[in-house]
C-alpha cells in the first residue's frame, strides 16, 4: 500500500511536469486529486486496515495528498501568469491597429520662404552667400555711406557687442544684411550677382510688425552698364516668381544712404488685386522691399571705378514677405513655436 502511494506520487509529479495549459491542469487535478482518483480511493480504503497500519498509511497518504495539492497550486499560478503575459503580448501586437504616425519634421516657414526667394534669384544667375552676424561698424555702417553721428543711423537701432581690447561701438550685431554688399565687392570683381539671406538684430520693442531678431535677404548686382531698368526687370521677375505671374509692380522714390536714387518697391495686392482690403490697408499696394542704384561712394569705398561700374542693390525682410504671402498679421507667431501654427506650412 505504501509502495503504491509512493508510485502514485512520482507518477503524479512526473505528469504534472508535462502540464503546460489550464485544460491539461484540470485533467490532471481530476485524475490525481478528484473524488474518483486512485489516491482518494486508497484513503477511503484505510478503513479496512488495522489501527496501527491505518495510522502509518494514513499519514503517508495525507502527506502525498498535501504535496500534490501544493504542487497543483504552484503550477496553476505559473500557468496563470504565463497566460496573462501572453495576452499582454498579443494586445501589444494587434496587427489590425492603424500604424502610429512617425513624428516627421519640417522646415520652419521662414526657412521655406527664404528658400523660395533665393531660388527665384538663383534662376536669374545669382549666387547665394552668407556673412557674419557679428559685424563691425565699418561694414554695417561706414562703408555703406552711413557716417558716425549721421541721423540716418537712427533708422538702425543697434545692439553693440563688448569685445576685449575693442572700443565700445565697434562690434555689433548686424542690423541688416547690407554689409555683405561691401564684403562681396572687396573679395571679387564685377560682374557680381549675389543674394545674401541671414539673421539681423535690432534693439527695439517687439510688436505685431517688429521683432528684435528677424531675417533679411540682401541682393547686389554690379557690372558695366547696369541701369535702373535692370533693377526693375530683375525685381519684377522676382515678384512674379514669388507672388504670381500676374503681379504688377510700383517703384517710388525712397531714401537709403547706400543707394542713389533709392526706391521702395510695391506689388499690387494679391488678395484684392488692387481693389483695397485689410492686407493692403485699403491702398491696393503692398510694399515689399527697399532698393536702388549702388551709391558711387559705396563703389569707390571698395576701390571700384564708379565711372566704369554701376550696380543695383535691394533688401527685403523674409518675415514681411511671408506675412504678405500667407496673410499673417503678427510677426511674433513665427517665433512663438506654436506647432499648430508652424504645421500649416508643410
Ligand atoms: N538695408 C536696408 C534696411 O535694412 C534695406 C535696403 C534698402 C537694402 C535699400 C538695400 C537697398 O540694398 O538698396 O532697411
What are the pLDDT digits (tens) for 120-169?
Answer: 999 999 999 999 999 999 999 999 999 888 888 888 899 999 999 999 99
Of residues 216, 222, 242, 318, which has the active-site annotation? 216
Residue 53 has pLDDT above 90, yes or no: no
Query: CB-based contacts of 37: which residues, under 8 Å, 6+ apart?
Result: 30, 31
Rounded average pLDDT over 52-59: 86
Q: Residue 265 C-alpha to ligand 1 middle, in angstroms?
A: 11
Question: What is the C-alpha to C-alpha distance for residues 89 and 109, in angstroms, rounded to an integer?
Answer: 42
Cβ–ligand 1 distance for 218 under 6 Å, the answer yes
Question: What is the C-alpha to C-alpha distance for residues 323 and 325, in angstroms, rounded to an integer?
Answer: 6
Is the whole-model pTM more than 0.75? no
Residue 90 has pLDDT above 80, yes or no: no
pLDDT in tens, 291-300: 999 999 999 9
- pLDDT, position 226: 98
pLDDT in tens, 203-237: 999 999 999 999 999 999 999 999 999 999 999 99
Rounded average pLDDT over 311-329: 96
Lowest-confidence pick of 31-40, 140-149, 329-338? 31-40
Q: Considering the chain, what percentage of its residues have pLDDT values greater than 90?
A: 69
Indicate if 202 belongs to the active site.
yes
- pLDDT, position 182: 98
Of residues 9, 29, 174, 176, which has the active-site annotation? 176
Q: How many Cα atoms occupy the beta-carbon half-sphere of 315 within 13 Å?
A: 22
CB 176 within 8 A of CB 200: yes
pLDDT band of residue 45 (cuts 50, 70, 90) is confident
- pLDDT, position 286: 94
Indicate if 259 belongs to the active site.
yes
CB 200 within 8 A of CB 174: yes
Give the mean pLDDT of the chain: 93
CB 266 within 8 A of CB 284: no
Lowest-confidence pick of 9-18, 50-59, 104-113, 126-135? 50-59
In 107-159, which ranges are E strands?
127-128, 134-136
Q: Residue 193 C-alpha to ligand 1 middle, in angstroms?
A: 16
Q: Residue 34 C-alpha to ligand 1 middle, in angstroms?
A: 97
pLDDT band of residue 99 (cuts 50, 70, 90) is confident
- pLDDT, position 28: 92
Amino acid at each position: 500500500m505504501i509502495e503504491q502511494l509512493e508510485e502514485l506520487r512520482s507518477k503524479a509529479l512526473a505528469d504534472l511536469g508535462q502540464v503546460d495549459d489550464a485544460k491539461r491542469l484540470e485533467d490532471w487535478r481530476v485524475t490525481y486529486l478528484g473524488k474518483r482518483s486512485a489516491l482518494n480511493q486508497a484513503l477511503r480504503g484505510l478503513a479496512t486496515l488495522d489501527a496501527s497500519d491505518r495510522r502509518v498509511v494514513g499519514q503517508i497518504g495525507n502527506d502525498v495528498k498535501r504535496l500534490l495539492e501544493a504542487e497543483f497550486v504552484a503550477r496553476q499560478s505559473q500557468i496563470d501568469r504565463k497566460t496573462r503575459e501572453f495576452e499582454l503580448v498579443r494586445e501589444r501586437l494587434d496587427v489590425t491597429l492603424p500604424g502610429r504616425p512617425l513624428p516627421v519634421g519640417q522646415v520652419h516657414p521662414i526657412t521655406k520662404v527664404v528658400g523660395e526667394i533665393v531660388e527665384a534669384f538663383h534662376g536669374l544667375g545669382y549666387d547665394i552667400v552668407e556673412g557674419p552676424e557679428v559685424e563691425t561698424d565699418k561694414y554695417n555702417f561706414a562703408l555703406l555711406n552711413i557716417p558716425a553721428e549721421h541721423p540716418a543711423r537712427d533708422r538702425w537701432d543697434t545692439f553693440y557687442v563688448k569685445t576685449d581690447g575693442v572700443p565700445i561701438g565697434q562690434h555689433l550685431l548686424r542690423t541688416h544684411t547690407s554689409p555683405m554688399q561691401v564684403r562681396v565687392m572687396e573679395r571679387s570683381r564685377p560682374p557680381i550677382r549675389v543674394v545674401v539671406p541671414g539673421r539681423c538684430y535690432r534693439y527695439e520693442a517687439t510688436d505685431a510688425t517688429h521683432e528684435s531678431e528677424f531675417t533679411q535677404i540682401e541682393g547686389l548686382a554690379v557690372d558695366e552698364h547696369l541701369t535702373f531698368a535692370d533693377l526693375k526687370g530683375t525685381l519684377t521677375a522676382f515678384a512674379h516668381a514669388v507672388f504670381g505671374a500676374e503681379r504688377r509692380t510700383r517703384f517710388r522714390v525712397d531714401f537709403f544712404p547706400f543707394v542713389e536714387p533709392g526706391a521702395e518697391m510695391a506689388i499690387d495686392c494679391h488678395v484684392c488685386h488692387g481693389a483695397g482690403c485689410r492686407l493692403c490697408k485699403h491702398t491696393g499696394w503692398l510694399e515689399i522691399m527697399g532698393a536702388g542704384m549702388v551709391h558711387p561712394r559705396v563703389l569707390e569705398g571698395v576701390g571700384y571705378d564708379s565711372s566704369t561700374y554701376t550696380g543695383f542693390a535691394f533688401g527685403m525682410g523674409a518675415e514681411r514677405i511671408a506675412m504678405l504671402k500667407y496673410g499673417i498679421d503678427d510677426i511674433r507667431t513665427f517665433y512663438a513655436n506654436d506647432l499648430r501654427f508652424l504645421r500649416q506650412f508643410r
